[in-house]
Amino acid sequence: METNAKSDNSVMGDTAGSIPNDGTGVVTLDPWLGPFKHALKRRYSKAQDWIKKIQDNEGGLEKFSRGYEYYGFTVNDNGDITYREWAPNAMRAYLIGDFNGWNRDSHEMKKNDFGVFEITLPAQGGQPAIPHDSKIKISMVVPNDGQRAERIPVWIKRVTQDLSISPMYEGRFWNPPKGEKYIFKNQKPPKPKSARIYEAHVGISSPEPKVATYKEFTKNVLPRIKNLGYNTIQLMAVMEHAYYASFGYQINSFFAASSRYGLPDELKELIDTAHGMGITVLLDVVHSHASKNVLDGLNMFDNSDHLYFHEGARGRHELWDSRLFNYGSYEVLRFLLSNLRFWMEEYQFDGFRFDGVTSMLYLHHGIGTGFSGGYHEYFGDTVDEEGVVYLMLANEMLHTLYPNCITIAEDVSGMPALCVALSLGGIGFDYRLAMAVPDLYIKWLKEKQDIDWDMGALAFTLTNRRHGEKTIAYAESHDQALVGDKSILMWLVDAEIYSHMSTLTELTPVIDRGLSLHKMIRLITHGLGGEGYLNFEGNEFGHPEWLDFPREGNNNSFHYARRQFNLTDDHLLRFRFLNDFDAKMQWTEEKYGWLHSPQAYVSLKNESDKVIVFERAGLLWIFNFHPTGSFPDYRVGVEEEGTYKIVLNSDSQMFGGHGRVAEDTRFFTTPFGWNDRKNFLQVYLPSRTALVLANEKAM
């Protein structure tokens, strides 16, 4: 099989021809993995065993991952409906619904030797026997004194909830007439060289206190994302989840797009419209756990504890209060791999951000475990090799079938080879999230005075990533926005966000500091922190307050479950300065491409001046984090001689700054070594200001 190994092989240059094919190729990238060759071989061997087994039994991963075309409801061209469900513990099963008046005995299903129940309903007068969008269930006789277990079909594509009646979901037979099915109009955009990701949640994407819709997102938010310069959207909370306040992390129906926001075809329209704008769309996929709901989830589906999940304690996550998949099960692998394939095919997503990867990689799920970075933590008895192998198979399948697919891992542990191809013994993701970066900012904003910020520690945290493995950097994501925490701007300005963000009020020292550091934190994260960048919606303009979904603890209020985009549209408010700076940052990256350029060369980390200087993508980046110190004629080393001009200035009045550096200033190099660079130039460097300079030859 072809994989996405090319980019990883290229890192190793001439050694690529001598890479072993036993899963230890990654040792060429990282010799420190040498003592763990046995574990690497074992993981790789298990993945290859699964690939061979699936090839022998099913004809390969491509066919194996088409489970959604066999299980659940399928409709033939003549209107016949076939329904299949894997429920080996059930003794008998019946299809019930609106179509048969909920008769529990009229439509009995046949069970085969593999525990799969099946029924075919012939078309009636050329029309399907089950009306489109009508309610439906499976009723099973289980070995518990012959009692009935009535469940929503596992592979169902639409479920709905009427909270005025019950919090329980109801399954629906989704089969729109041919003329009403959504037809995708736009080609998928090419895979972005630089992933600039806008993390978004459809339901909160309105200033109004309500659940926003797919259509509203398409009309109102997509143009904002495009204008800001982001080329990728990461959609959260799309897979149907029983509890809105879970932020989409308690999945009950894995093949259903959340009906809270509208119809399935309206989500397709959203994705298609984004593609037409040249925007890549990723799905936040939750394969790390599942809702423990029984009546409208996978839990105890056929009245057994072990159908899709591990039995007993291993099948339960004590902190998340949810069920854990058995990644060593043949049918569970079919279910999960087919789930990924379904979202790629049916909805035309371009890839996935895998949630909770740490929980999947380790038997302890990261609970009560602090990862020191010692390699022994990534191998041995605490590792869930079944989870590791599933992720290997998932990435192999996705990147083989969809060469432009993007996969991102949310892993806090720092697992080596997470973003290296399977052919080298890696797990196969394209990117990992730089989860230590936002933690550093929040810790410093809580605990340190600005003058005590450690430039060396900041530069180290932003550049401390594994060679040959790509990273998505971010200053704050949805995690930092949730209730219990505060956004970076709230940490910076606190209560003054309510009283002094109007341009008609004085620019207080608190607001001045907040605006300045908000811009600088984002810019240095963007430029130094990774090979991709992520922002959670609203944080680009310093969204006030946290994110809190309606729940019993807040009297089911939507007050904090919304994004106040209107704040940026009011030109009398200072939020627009942050919004405009964010857009300038994204579009400048689009021009110079630093995210897909080699890692930066940091030439200066001056602790007394609070200055950091680095070069990346031919640009010279200069940051002065000093709260009061401004430096005239500050000498800065640079490798490339020439004349430099400003391409980004955080102190520009356009972005709420003081305009202390003239935008048309030209900076001339002197051929004299400085900070291990061949040349230097001199700049006026005001306090709390960042400048990005480009050589005129490259402009």
SS3 percent helix, strand, coil of the chain, rounded to 5, is 35, 25, 40
Is residue 75 within 8 A of residue 175, CB to CB? The reply is yes
Phi, psi of 547 (to 5 degrees): -115, 120
**The pair of three-digit structure tokens given for residue 627, joined into one six-digit string:** 């709260």
**The pair of three-digit structure tokens given for residue 196, joined into one six-digit string:** 């600039």
Return the closest-CA partner of residue 7 out of 473, 434, 615, 428. Answer: 428
Predicted pLDDT of residue 271? 98
Three-state secondary structure call for residue 94: strand
* Number of C-beta neighbours around residue 270 at 10 A: 28
**Annotated catalytic residue, options 170, 216, 240, 355:** 355
- Domains with residue ranges and CATH for the chain: 1-66+231-433 (3.20.20.80), 72-153 (2.60.40.10), 204-225+434-597 (3.20.20.80), 600-698 (2.60.40.1180)
SS (H, E, C) 222-256: HHHHHHHCCCEEEEECCEEECCHHHCCCCEEEEEE
Q: How far is the C-alpha of 675 from the C-alpha of 602, rounded, in Å?
A: 10
Q: How far is the C-alpha of 554 from the C-alpha of 67, rounded, in Å?
A: 41
Predicted pLDDT of residue 17? 55
* 406-409 and 351-354 beta bridge pairing: parallel
Predicted pLDDT of residue 63? 98
For residue 410, indicate whether it is catalytic.
yes
Question: Which amino acid does the sequence have at 193?
Answer: K
Contacting residues for 502 by C-beta, under 8 A, at least 6 apart: 572, 573, 574
- What is the enclosing helix (H) or strand (E) of 335? helix 330-346
* Number of C-beta neighbours around residue 188 at 10 A: 18
Q: How far is the C-alpha of 349 from the C-alpha of 341, rounded, in Å?
A: 10
Predicted pLDDT of residue 5? 35
Is residue 541 within 8 A of residue 567, CB to CB? The reply is yes
For residue 615, indicate whether it is catalytic.
no
Predicted pLDDT of residue 483? 66
**Annotated catalytic residue, options 265, 302, 385, 410:** 410
Burial of 621 from C-beta contacts in 10 A (0-12 / 13-18 / 19+): buried
Return the closest-CA partner of residue 543 out of 492, 598, 595, 605. Answer: 492
Q: How far is the C-alpha of 409 from the C-alpha of 421, rounded, in Å?
A: 14
Place of tokens 């291990």: 676
Phi, psi of 586 (to 5 degrees): -65, -45
DSSP secondary structure code for residue 72 in this structure: E
* 239-241 and 251-257 beta bridge pairing: antiparallel
Helix 455-463 × helix 509-528 angle, to 10°: 40
Q: How far is the C-alpha of 81 from the C-alpha of 642, rounded, in Å?
A: 71
Contacting residues for 682 by C-beta, under 8 A, at least 6 apart: 633, 634, 635, 636, 667
Q: How far is the C-alpha of 533 from the C-alpha of 535, rounded, in Å?
A: 7
Please, what are the averages of pLDDT over each run of 10 residues along the chain (699 residues)?
35 55 93 96 98 98 98 96 97 97 97 97 94 98 87 98 90 94 97 98 95 98 98 98 89 97 98 98 98 95 96 94 97 98 98 97 91 89 97 98 98 95 97 94 95 98 94 91 80 94 97 98 98 97 88 88 94 97 98 97 98 98 98 97 98 98 96 97 98 92
Kindly report the length of the chain. Answer: 699
Q: How far is the C-alpha of 279 from the C-alpha of 295, rounded, in Å?
A: 38
**The pair of three-digit structure tokens given for residue 391, joined into one six-digit string:** 């992720």
* 72-75 and 81-86 beta bridge pairing: antiparallel
Q: How far is the C-alpha of 101 from the C-alpha of 561, rounded, in Å?
A: 39
DSSP string computed for 607-662: TTTTEEEEEETTEEEEEE--SS--EEEEEEEESS-SEEEEEEETT-GGGTS---S-
**The pair of three-digit structure tokens given for residue 226, joined into one six-digit string:** 């495009």
Is residue 23 within 8 A of residue 44, CB to CB? The reply is yes
Return the closest-CA partner of residue 153 out of 137, 167, 139, 175. Answer: 137
Q: Which residues partner with 689 through β-bridges?
A: 624
Q: How far is the C-alpha of 487 from the C-alpha of 309, rounded, in Å?
A: 36
Q: What is the pTM of this model?
A: 0.95
